[in-house]
Chain A
Amino acid sequence: MKWLLVCCIVILGLASARADILEVTVVEPYVDMHSGPASEYPVFHIIEQGQSVAVLKTRTGWYKVRTAKGIEGWIVADDLVMAEIAPGQTVALPEYRFEDYQQRTFEFGVYTGRLDNSNSLSVSAAWAMTQNIVAEVSATQALGEYAENQLWLVRVQHFIFPKWRLSPYMTLGFGQIRTTPDTTLIQGGGESRTSDLMEVGLGARYYLLRNFSARLEYKRLTALTARDDLEELNQWQLGFSVFF
């Protein structure tokens, strides 16, 4: 019986240690509590000055809180930032800002655009080596009327003015392109061919909000085909990326 009691106390202790829910006290005259995580949801309760609430979870800039009386609702991040954890100690939320963008390590993006006369879709993963130089790998699928192209590139981007919100950049890269002719039009011609690829490009990125930025770029691709002549391709793309 004693053992059971000890076990219970230990388990309770562990449970409470693990569930270290953040408690904050409202210092503003009052804070609106919404019924859902968006400004459109109605305000159904007011948290008064001096009242404490437990912060349960977050979704897109909104925080779900529970009052001492057990009333649960959502408050906006701006109100939580004003609240105190202890007297004189406020909350600093992990929200991304433009300063964080300049210190980013990884960035992932998706883009859509045109590769010569076909529509293209691309994904990319990038590693920011310095503020100016970013290494990136990208994969593109371009579906044309007569052929399907798949290409990958390893590229280096050079940001000339990384501290500008709208910042131009230049790129250089290499990779491969695989072209598969359309089977319905070219009977039995489903055989694909692969060529090496060189790239030079120009682009601009614009920091949007939180950890998002948009990007517009133009690339000139040179495919080193088995034939005597080089094949030149032009690619335009627009997309957005998220950084961590």
Chain B
Amino acid sequence: MATRFLGVFLSTLLMTLPVSANLDQVVIEPQLERRDITEADIDSENFEVALFAGQVSVEDFSSGVLVGASLTYHVSENLFAEMAYGQAEAGQTSYEILSGGAQFLTDEERQYRYYDLAIGYKFNGEVFVSQGRALNSDFYFMLGGGNTDFAADSHFTLVLGAGYRLLLTDYLALRLDARDRIFSSELIGEQKETHNMQYTLGVSLFF
């Protein structure tokens, strides 16, 4: 009787052993340690600085050479925000040219300067330069607002734009940009919305 009792006891003990071993395995938490990586550990390149030059057509005032700079922050793989500054010297109105000498604006007033802030959405793509070699690129649309100083006056300006960015390396890019800067002006008598088209070519660096 005693041996049978011992046998039952031992077999019960044996049966519980693997179960308790199993339980142990469940209870043990995986020692997954997370090491915080700081910004300094990985070089981040979300900012882009660009210098550009091109032509701007100032409505009613012929066209001029435009130079400028911009700073871009890439928010996500498709969205970015851009601050830009540019300046140009506008030309003469057709009236000034035809009348021969009548000056509508002084040289200082002919300075066309702007700054603006815009949001852009880009469509990523590639350009196949040759067989087996591709460069990353993107095409983007922009919408923004800003200020234009022209003819000794400041104008609130709506900015519509599109552009193309060709990345020669990860951090160096060529940019081709077109913008329409729209502002209301009463310079030549009547109040009207002026469209000032510009196209520029630029070089940019990511950092």
Contact of A90 with B34 in the complex, beta carbons under 8 Å? yes
B117: interface (CB < 8 Å):
yes
Interchain CB contact (< 8 A) of B152 among A41, A89, A93, A183: A183
Bound CA–CA A149/B74 (angstroms): 32
User: Distance in Å from the Cβ of B112 to the closest Cβ of chain A?
Assistant: 15
Contact of B36 with A59 in the complex, beta carbons under 8 Å? no
Interchain CB contact (< 8 A) of B32 among A88, A145, A148: A88
Chain A residues within an 8 Å CB radius of B32: 88-90
A119-B156, A121-B147, A212-B75 known; A41+B126 contact, CB < 8 A: yes
Chain B residues within an 8 Å CB radius of A242: 73
Contact of A85 with B186 in the complex, beta carbons under 8 Å? no
User: Distance in Å from the Cβ of B42 to the closest Cβ of chain A?
Assistant: 5
Interchain CB contact (< 8 A) of B77 among A22, A60, A110: A60
Stretch at the interface among A5-13, A61-69, A130-138, A218-226: A61-69
A36-B136, A38-B77, A110-B117 known; A63+B42 contact, CB < 8 A: yes
A175: interface (CB < 8 Å):
no
Contact of A22 with B153 in the complex, beta carbons under 8 Å? no
B113: interface (CB < 8 Å):
no
Contact of B37 with A92 in the complex, beta carbons under 8 Å? yes
B68: interface (CB < 8 Å):
no
Chain B residues within an 8 Å CB radius of A85: 35
Residue interface bits A113-141, CB-to-B below 8 A is 1, else 0: 00000110100000000000000000001
Interchain CB contact (< 8 A) of B147 among A39, A93, A143: A143
Bound CA–CA A56/B170 (angstroms): 11
Interface residues on B, range: 35 or more
Contact of A36 with B124 in the complex, beta carbons under 8 Å? yes
User: Distance in Å from the Cβ of B124 to the closest Cβ of chain A?
Assistant: 4
B61: interface (CB < 8 Å):
no
User: Distance in Å from the Cβ of B41 to the closest Cβ of chain A?
Assistant: 6
User: Distance in Å from the Cβ of B166 to the closest Cβ of chain A?
Assistant: 12
A112: interface (CB < 8 Å):
yes
Contact of B136 with A59 in the complex, beta carbons under 8 Å? no
Stretch at the interface among B8-16, B43-51, B89-97: B43-51
Chain A residues within an 8 Å CB radius of B184: 145
Bound CA–CA A235/B39 (angstroms): 38
Contact of A61 with B77 in the complex, beta carbons under 8 Å? yes
Interchain CB contact (< 8 A) of B41 among A22, A37, A38, A60: A22
Chain B residues within an 8 Å CB radius of A233: none
A57: interface (CB < 8 Å):
yes
Bound CA–CA A64/B136 (angstroms): 14
Bound CA–CA A88/B35 (angstroms): 10
A160: interface (CB < 8 Å):
no
Bound CA–CA A148/B148 (angstroms): 12
User: Distance in Å from the Cβ of B149 to the closest Cβ of chain A?
Assistant: 10
Contact of B43 with A58 in the complex, beta carbons under 8 Å? yes
Q: Quick one: which of B30, B73, B151, B154 has the most chain A CB within 10 A?
A: B154
A71: interface (CB < 8 Å):
no
Within 8 A of B (CB), among A220-244: 242
Residue interface bits A85-112, CB-to-B below 8 A is 1, else 0: 1001111111000000000000000101
Contact of B42 with A22 in the complex, beta carbons under 8 Å? yes
A55-B42, A60-B74, A141-B147 known; A92+B117 contact, CB < 8 A: no
A191: interface (CB < 8 Å):
no
A78: interface (CB < 8 Å):
no
Bound CA–CA A39/B76 (angstroms): 11
Contact of A56 with B136 in the complex, beta carbons under 8 Å? no
Chain A residues within an 8 Å CB radius of B3: none
Q: What 20 additional pairs, Cβ within 8 angstroms, besides A90-B32, A209-B76?
A: A35-B134, A38-B78, A56-B42, A57-B45, A58-B43, A59-B44, A60-B76, A85-B35, A88-B30, A89-B34, A90-B33, A91-B34, A92-B36, A119-B156, A121-B145, A121-B147, A121-B156, A143-B147, A145-B191, A183-B153
23 contacts between A and B (CB under 8 A): A22-B41, A22-B42, A36-B124, A37-B77, A40-B77, A41-B124, A59-B206, A60-B46, A60-B74, A60-B75, A61-B77, A88-B33, A89-B33, A90-B33, A92-B34, A94-B37, A119-B145, A143-B155, A143-B156, A184-B186, A185-B186, A190-B152, A212-B75
